[in-house]
Structure 1
């Protein structure tokens, strides 16, 4: 590692051995406090994402009939995969912003487009995740409808660190997926509980007529950023003049 680069937080090498701690209370408290000072940039990033999704949906409605989008499973799957491909770089940009927030680096809403620097790996991860969820939901849904929710929760939990590894470390998509699955399985119950908490926060945001999502969505990303920092660590470039951390090395 270069002399002016340091890692804040955990260690990828140690986390792959299961040598890490995850305190749900601490990461929730820290993400809440971080969101106080980083709400507007992430909120702006989400507005950009929502605008892109809205445009894609309008295009899909012009290509397919509303009836086909509602009743055709093939059209629904195709639409979901298309949305996944288009939004993956933006979601990666939001994730990179949250990782920066976890180490005290400020961002701006336009940073959401920095995910396009790793566009293809992010799309690969998003597609693999989406396809796994669709296949798993279909197979287990034949046994019991509630199992569809279980498999989606499980896949989301075990792949949560893949996208951050791509945007922060430049890890290849297959390695990022493997690392995430391996690391999460060491403390899978805690990660499942973490995503149940996230689901509860989302429900709370929806129940407030959507107004709560203004806070909840940025906090969720900051939460994942804090988890990533504590488990894997964030590589930053230090300013040699005052020894302050300026930027993520990636």
Structure 2
């Protein structure tokens, strides 16, 4: 009796949001990138809007938790750095600006797991799967890869903005799906960044247009004391989920 000892070829991780029975219908990252995709801005937003009902409370709560966590950490970190610089004398305005930027970047990293959870709620909703508040606290175990992804993404975007702005604008849109790719497909930080960039680049201007329209909708909705954001924030999150599903094939369960 012969035994096949040849090494098993590496397979790109597939979605963990799917019913195992139906997982064969979900393409790998390479397959998703190769097959291409398309969408209409108005059609995607309309689909997302139809899924807003039943998600508003969860998403708004997640955004509040994220904002509070980032603000608290930013305050604490700012106090620590502020005390250190106060002891050494007056700080130059340029130094203060650099410190504020560093504090903002570091404070944002603490919220990446919650941000990922909010993204996953949008993806699950787009895939017609159950959603829960616990989703937002389910990804702290991936804090390190999320941290690395966020820091690399931020640094590259900042560098791009310094290089005549356009490269930074390109990357800020191209990397929009990197965080959910880390938690949903279990990709490494660089794999997630590259998968997001390659996918978005196929229709970069259309994706840019999508976020431009969503941004305008949110700006208008915020005019009456921000009340409209109760609807438009979930709309934006679910729109990202529908975009993710469209690109990477996160399909609704078959039963």
TM-score by length of 2: 0.79
Does structure 2 conserve the Cα–Cα contact (< 8 Å) formed by 1:102 and 1:229? Answer: yes
Tell me the residue number matched to 1:57: 74
What secondary structure does 1:170 align onto? coil
Q: Assess, with a 3 A threshold, how the Cα gap between structure 1 residues 70 and 27 changes in structure 2: closer, same or farther.
A: farther
User: Partners in 2 of 1:190 and 1:136 — Cα distance?
Assistant: 21
Aligned residue among 96, 99, 116 for 2:120:
96
Q: Which runs of 5+ in 2 are unaligned?
A: 1-13, 84-89
* Structure 1 residue 180 corresponds to structure 2 residue 196: yes
Query: What does 1:25-174 align with in structure 2 at a 5 Å threshold?
Result: 25-65=42-82, 72-140=96-164, 147=165, 150-174=166-190
For 1:37, what is the secondary structure of its paired residue?
Answer: coil
Provide the C-alpha distance between the structure 2 equivalents of 1:52 and 1:213, rounded to a whole number of angstroms: 20
Residue matched to 2:236: 220
Q: SS at 2:23's partner residue? A: strand
| Structure 1 gaps, min length 5 | 141-146, 245-250
Contact 1:121 1:173 (C-alpha < 8 Å) held by counterparts: yes
Alignment of 1:237-248 (within 5 A): 244=255
Distance in 2 separating the partners of 1:110 and 1:100: 13
Whichever structure has more strand as a proportion of its residues is: 1
TM-score (norm 1): 0.81
**1:84–1:130 Cα contact (<8 Å) kept:** no
Segments of 4+ moved more than 4 angstroms: 7-11, 64-71
The equivalent of 2:87 in structure 1 is: none
Name whichever of 80-89 and 222-231 sits farther off: 80-89
> Matched residue pairs, number?
231
Match for residue 204 of structure 1?
220
- Report the Cα offset of residue 212 of structure 1: 2.2
CA distance in 2, matches of 1:106, 1:53: 27
Aligned CA RMSD, in angstroms, stands at 2.8
Q: How far is 1:167 from its partner? A: 1.5
In 2, the alpha carbon distance for the partners of 1:230 and 1:125 equals 22
* CA deviations over 1:158-217 (Å, ceiling 9, x no partner): 112212211111111111111111111111111111121122123223333322222222
d(CA) in 2 for partners of 1:166 and 1:65?
34
